[in-house]
């Protein structure tokens, strides 16, 4: 990573990064998947690979705020089913980063996100009843958890873009709003912290990137507070529509040149 590039940003570029950090906080406490916009902003201002290392500590700060806000609503059986597959996805993503260029990474993840959104919309339109998250203990549910877990681990490692994949899984599993936010909060705190050693080993995080993070983390807090205020004022259907829309927007952005 060319860390010197991190010190050559203009005032407008820093303002864009600050807005993206605020959006991270908002996405963690309101509309999961919206932080794919933050991913695109960071990649536009900073070198693409370097941007993933700078963004990761900002995401962890948002995860901590989300856990403090929704810690009572996490569904731990779902988390335990996901973690083994996610670990495999993180390892695969690390290997992928060793040889793939930015274009391949962006295109692959963009296609995955759009496919996930399409499948989720189709499944929700054809479902006759609400699902119970505990229903995913069935054989088909376990296969689905493993598939989404590997994709989530892979996408979060290569581009910090695992949020939409997990959002699609939690929606398809029938999670209501608070259960969705509480479960995803713990999921991403644990996964993102586990990615730090891999990112350091790949040279994506160092002292200079952390100094930039220190300047950006303060913008995560007002975003999280805004998200908490908003999520209490939207109903379940609108919440799901916003999550899916954010996923589609993020997928399209990753496919654009």
Give per-residue pLDDT as tens, 79-115. Answer: 898 889 999 998 998 888 887 776 777 677 677 767 7
Residues 166-192: what's their mean pLDDT?
86
Q: Within 13 Å and on the Cβ side, how many CA atoms surround 50?
A: 18
Task: Give the residue carrying structure tokens 């700060």.
Answer: 61
pLDDT of 128 higher than 70: no
> pLDDT category, 129, cuts 50, 70, 90?
very low
Task: Reply yes or no on whether the pLDDT at 223 is more than 90.
Answer: yes
Position with higher pLDDT, 4 vs 179: 179
Asked whether the whole model's pTM tops 0.85, one would answer no
Q: Which residue has the higher pLDDT, 3 or 60?
A: 60
State both tokens at 154.
Answer: 């892979």
Supply the DSSP string of 55-81, one letter for each residue: HHHHHHHHHHHHHHHHGGG--HHHHHH
pLDDT in tens, 147-171: 888 888 887 887 777 777 787 788 7
**What does pLDDT average to over the chain?**
80
3-class secondary structure, 138? coil
95: Cβ contacts below 8 Å, ≥ 6 apart: none
Residue 47 has pLDDT above 80, yes or no: no
Q: Which of 254, 91, 253, 74 is nearest to 178 (CA)?
A: 74
Q: How many CB atoms lie within 10 A of CB 102?
A: 15
How far apart are alpha carbons 118 and 114 in whole angstroms? Answer: 6
């Amino acid at each position: 990573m060319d860390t010197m590039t991190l010190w050559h940003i203009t005032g407008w570029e820093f303002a864009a990064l600050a807005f993206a950090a605020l959006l991270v906080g908002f996405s963690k406490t309101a509309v999961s998947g919206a932080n794919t916009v933050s991913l695109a902003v960071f990649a536009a201002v900073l070198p693409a690979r370097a941007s993933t290392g700078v963004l990761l500590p900002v995401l962890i700060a948002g995860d901590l705020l989300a856990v403090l806000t929704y810690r009572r609503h996490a569904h731990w059986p779902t988390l335990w089913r996901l973690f083994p597959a996610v670990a495999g996805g993180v390892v695969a993503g690390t290997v992928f980063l060793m040889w793939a260029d930015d274009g391949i990474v962006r295109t692959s993840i963009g296609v995955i996100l759009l496919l996930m959104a399409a499948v989720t919309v189709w499944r929700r339109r054809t479902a006759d009843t609400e699902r119970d998250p505990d229903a995913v203990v069935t054989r088909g549910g376990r296969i689905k958890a493993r598939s989404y877990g590997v994709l989530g681990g892979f996408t979060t490692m290569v581009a910090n873009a695992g949020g939409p994949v997990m959002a699609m899984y939690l929606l398809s599993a029938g999670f209501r709003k608070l259960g969705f936010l509480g479960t995803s909060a713990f999921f991403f705190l644990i996964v993102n912290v586990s990615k730090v050693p891999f990112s350091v080993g790949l040279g994506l995080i160092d002292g200079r990137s952390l100094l930039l993070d220190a300047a950006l983390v303060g913008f995560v807090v007002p975003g999280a507070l805004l998200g908490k205020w908003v999520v209490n004022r939207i109903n379940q259907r609108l919440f799901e529509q916003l999550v899916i829309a954010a996923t589609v927007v993020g997928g399209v952005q990753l496919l654009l040149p």
